[in-house]
Chain A
Amino acid sequence: MKRHAAITEPRWIRYLLIGISILFLISFLITPLILIFVKAFEGGIGLYLKAFVEPEALAAMRLTALVVCIAVPLNTIFGLCASWAITKFEFRGKGFLLTLIDLPFTVSPVISGLIFVLLFSDKSWLGGIFYNLGIQIIFSTPGIVMVTTFVTFPFVARELIPLMQSQGIEEEEAALTLGATGWQTFWRVSLPNIKWGLMYGIILCTARAVGEFGAVSVVSGHIRGLTNTMPLHIEILYNEYNFTAAFAVSSLMVFGALVTLLIKHYIEWRMKGEKRL
């Protein structure tokens, strides 16, 4: 769009700002990304692929997949319930609930991990109960799933609440007057209205669940082939100076992140399209 000189900045300022942004992106984002792939393929494609067939690498990928498969659906359901409650009903303590939802964003993941260690260690009251039942939580898969769920739980709710607030409840009321049950109203009216927002939240939640390091690191115990997720596995490989393998696994995660970005971009484009209608 061509704009009049009077309402825009001089040319040199524009080019300077654009130049700084591009320089920054190249040095801090694009170069490292390329370097990851360069490093990963340094030893040739054979060595690159070998990094994935290691039993420990496979176990880490399996564990990460398992954690995502539990944490993301849980947070999707939680996010739907919370945003539904906050936007469709009036009740006391609404503001407090909203603040609580933000808590995992404000607390450092390491501290989140430590809280779970305190809660569920063998010597704590709650951990003792599980210990007597023969269930180990800390330094085991349940603990990793729990902290990941905790750290990622605001994503879906935070995405849905503003969307649902802007939509109001008139369409739901209309569905009720037309004879629809609560369940039918949810599936036929509410859910289609928020589907892109929900997808967006799930994508962000998944990306974070895959990549979470700090909190998981605290509760995992780093047991090879058992409690190492992909980020933890990368750290171990790196500490052992096995750079090629470390960067190979990293490149897989980067690839995943890029795909996520693409999906996110597509969803944003769809949401914008829907708003314009």
Chain B
Amino acid sequence: MSIIIQNVSKAFGDVDVLKDLSFEVKTGELIALLGPSGSGKTTLLRSIAGLEVIDSGNILFHGDDTKDKTVQERQVGFVFQHYALFKHMTVFENVAFGLRVRDKKSRPSESEIERKVHELLQLVQLDYLGKRYPSQLSGGQRQRIALARALAIEPQLLLLDEPFGALDAKVRKELRKWLRRLHDELHITSVFVTHDVEEALEVADRIVIMNEGRIEQIGTPEEVYHHCANAFVYQFIGNVNLFHGRVEDKVAHFGNVSVSLPETSEQETKDTVFYVRPHDLDIHHSAPDSTAFKAKIDHVHLAGPVVRVDLTSEWGDPVHVEITQDYYLSMTFQKGMDVFVSPKDGRLFMQDYSI
């Protein structure tokens, strides 16, 4: 089922949580709503499910407006961050709930319910837990049961609210790979909310990046990672160094470094910020070119796949650089050493863009 979000706005009291949002989810897609807390992503998800009422705009399922449809009528599968399993029911009864509450005409027979529940429990690989109670399961098992329960009503749309948010790092990673595989099997249109960039990049077909109730960028993981639409996305999607400077006569000045910008259309003098990822900075013993600046090594973190070096630039700003273990060993950098740092890549955003 396709979803169209058209100019959706919502406020809680004086606070605008959704500000004129529009986008589309195609049939069978797996979409991530990514953003920091307070960006409105969960409110948007709950609005799609019908658990919140939007103030203006339209949400269309398959081209039909959902304005007058109750939660029950929308028939969406919803998975909650804290599972929301029914504590007093067994796993089996939890999954069977959506079938048992149907009216007499459409309710399947007892044997049909049993067959269906076991099929779903097999799908989430937990058929052997049917007689247990939710409190006897681990977090990862609970979330898979919650998913099986949501799938029992055969939803056309699956909504997941920070589905792995309450799990520890290792289980999270396993479960998100598993979710991706499950989606490839079932092809149910799915939207999940996350604040974990890595999770969104790994799992989603497309990512909607939200901030303060607005959409900052929509695109595939590759697009949002390599072609950030603006300063916010650039900062949110990965670690970043900020260099504040000024653009004057098509030349940008940062500390003692000047870079000419022949293509800029800026005429007047403006404040600017240069964004560079830690792995796009190099450290040298002597200045390789005019873009290099002096810095002092404060600390070297050797644990991990890359070496992380903390420095202070000659004008006093902290700088973070990531270099390979091999490069580190060949160059013999040490704490307290004066070195030169030069950027390989980066993005310039004018300061009037608010972040």
Contacts and interface: CB of A to CB of B under 8 A. Distances in A.
B97 A170 contact: no
B47 to A, nearest CB: 13
Nearest to A195: B88
Interface in B43-59: 49, 51
B244 to A, nearest CB: 44
Q: Interface size bucket, A side?
A: 10 to 19
B293 interface: no
Given A177-B49, A177-B150, A179-B153, A171 B72 contact: no
Nearest to B73: A179
A180 B72 contact: yes
Interface stretch (A2-10, A124-132, A186-194): A186-194
Contacts of B85: 171, 174
Interface string B91-132: 000000110011000000000000000000000000000000
Contacts of A184: 101
Given A176-B72, A177-B51, A179-B153, A170 B101 contact: no
B135 interface: yes
B101 A179 contact: yes
Contacts of A193: 87-88
A178 B149 contact: yes
A189 B86 contact: yes
Interface bin, chain B: 20 to 34
A173 interface: yes
A82 to B, nearest CB: 23
List the 10 shortest-distance A-B pairs measured between CB atoms, nearest first: A178-B98, A277-B135, A170-B84, A177-B78, A174-B84, A180-B101, A192-B88, A176-B71, A179-B72, A184-B101
Nearest to B106: A179
A244 B15 CA distance: 71
A175 B88 contact: no
A179 B75 contact: yes
Contacts, number: 66
Contacts of B149: 174, 178
Interface in A157-208: 170-171, 173-181, 184, 188-189, 192-193
A274 to B, nearest CB: 8
B75 A171 contact: no
16 contacts: A170-B82, A171-B84, A174-B85, A175-B86, A177-B49, A177-B51, A177-B71, A177-B72, A178-B150, A179-B72, A179-B98, A179-B101, A181-B72, A192-B86, A193-B87, A277-B133
B224 interface: no
B88 A177 contact: no
A173 B146 CA distance: 13
Give the most central of B71, B77, B102, B149: most A CB within 10 Å.
B71
Nearest to B97: A178
Interface in B131-173: 133, 135-136, 146, 149-150, 152-153
A188 B101 contact: yes
B236 interface: no
B321 interface: no
A218 to B, nearest CB: 44
Contact of A173 (B80, B88, B136, B153): B80
A44 to B, nearest CB: 51
Contacts of A174: 78, 80, 84-86, 146, 149
